[in-house]
Amino acid sequence: MNEKSPPRRRAEDTETAAELSLEWHRPLSPSRRTNTLAPGIGVPAIIMIGLGGVIGSGIFVASGIPVHAAGPGIILSFLIGAAVVMPVALYLAEMEAAHPSAGAFSYYAYRYLHPLMGFVTGWMYWSKGVLAMATEVTAAALLMRWWLPAWPLWVFSLFFSLLITGINFLDIRGFSRIEGWFASIKILALFLFILLGLSILAGLWPGIPSPGTTNFFAHGGLLPHGLKGIYASLLLVVFAYSGNSVVAMTAAQAADPARTIPRAVLGTISAITILYTGAIFVLVGLLPWVDVPTSSSPFVAVLEKVHITFAGNILNAVILTAVLSSMNTSMFGVSNMLRSLAERNEAPRFLLKTGRSGVPVYALAVSSLFLGLAVLLAYLLPRKVFLYVASASGFISIFNWTITTLTFISYRRKTRPAGRLFTVPGYPLLPALSLLLLLAAAASVPLTAGQLPGMISGLALATFFTVLFLLLSRRGAAGKNSGAD
């Protein structure tokens, strides 16, 4: 690359980063139901882990796409998205309070719905996490080119992969402390952006005239594409909340899960709803929605408009932190899920091995190995092919949330009220409404550009794991019958 052309290279890399932001079934003994990782973290630490899993490049980089689908009505879309996700998170919290498990929704699907559902949801979550981390580490490498355009991408990818793996080898307190710093940077960035925007909209920022409510009602009004625009944006908005499931996976490490997890879930979803809707409100208030960029960060466009110096460097650093934080919590989630699958004999037994700090070392090592293979595929495969596979993560989120809701309904039917330490109100109407909203979000896939290949990939993955489960179950049954003979 010619040394005189870094600005163009940086713009191209930012666009690429935006694109990349994918013994069988026997009853468990009581001793195997609880993860052995070191307990003791409280509500604030779990909330920070949850926010770290949710806030990522989806809001900082790719939020322009749903804005163009819904116009200023995107504010309503983010509120609806929270209404879809919060009940599902609370269903998990109720089950976690009664039976803490690092396998979270996969373990409960296994126990209360059917072993097939536990197997499929667990392995789909693990697959989604590895693919998502591959896109995130590639995006992080591309973001580093903002400052070091001459360095090869593989150097950054290798460094960040080793960094995230190393952080996850720490005990839960060390991990939560580092993730807390990561999450704090993202939260502070969003908070300052909201504060800056509101002061400008209120006419309190010196030297910058307030646009008032003009941008909310110009260019077609509040709903320029009608309710269809809100519906078309819903899929992308719901996916922006998808990292919240990592909260449930901290239950086995939490101090007093019956109290801690419900409070952490409510705190995480409430905080993310305020931050997301506040940031989007400011975004469409300061920029006409038709001018919001879709292939680079809309937040950069706002900062450039208000003449904040070094906007590019500031946002690039924040987005890099967001990507690494999301990757960090993803690695935590997939390694704990893999260990939970091993507890149920649905993954190799050696993955149960933990280190002195309580970390599932083999599950973490295997997940890191597959991350390396996925990163290699990201470089070798044509970009669109890999993105189609990685975008299956969106469908997997909807799929797993639907199974979680069905699991919760079965859990309520099979347990007594006296055994429920935390109870979600509104049963059975609330879970029925959740199923309708989740199915509606899934049905909006054809209205969202570029999402149909991801849904097809997700369905193919679900089919593969279903067939694998049936084959392994048949082989296990044949082995038992042979032994009986």
Can you give the residue ranges of every domain in the chain? 39-475
Residue 33: what residue type? R
Vertex 290: Cα angle to 285 and 296 (nearest 5): 90
What's the gap between Cα 293 and its chain centre?
23
pLDDT digits (tens, 9 = 90+) for 51-78: 888 887 778 877 888 899 899 999 999 9
**Residue 346: partners with Cβ closer than 8 Å, 6 or more residues away:** 24, 118, 119, 122, 123
Residue 466: what residue type? T
Q: How far apart are CA 135 and CA 21, in angstroms?
A: 6
The residue that leads in pLDDT, 36 or 229, is 229
The residue that leads in pLDDT, 12 or 447, is 447
Other CB atoms within a 10 A radius of the CB of residue 271 amount to 18
Quick one: fold of 39-475? Answer: Amino acid/polyamine transporter I (1.20.1740)
Residue 180: what residue type? G
Q: How far apart are CA 103 and CA 320, in angstroms?
A: 29
The residue that leads in pLDDT, 192 or 382, is 192
Q: Is it true that the peptide bond before 115 is cis, omega within 30 degrees of 0? A: no
**Arithmetic mean of pLDDT over the chain:** 82
Task: Tell me which H or E stretch contains 251.
Answer: none
Q: Are 127 and 45 in contact (CB under 8 A)?
A: no
pLDDT higher than threshold 70 for residue 357: yes
Give how far Cα 193 sits from Cα of 6, 217, 302, 308, 331, Å: 27, 22, 9, 11, 29
Confidence of residue 434 (pLDDT cuts 50, 70, 90): very high
- Which range, 170-174, 258-262, 339-343, is most confident? 339-343
pLDDT digits (tens, 9 = 90+) for 389-399: 666 777 788 89
Task: Give bridge partners of residue 41 from the DSSP assignment.
Answer: 254
Confidence of residue 446 (pLDDT cuts 50, 70, 90): confident
Give how far Cα 8 sits from Cα of 154, 419, 420, Å: 21, 61, 58
Phi, psi of 41 (to 5 degrees): -80, 150
Q: Are 269 and 87 in contact (CB under 8 A)?
A: no
3-state secondary structure of 254: strand
- The predicted pLDDT at position 449 comes to 65
**Residue 461: partners with Cβ closer than 8 Å, 6 or more residues away:** 124, 127, 392, 396
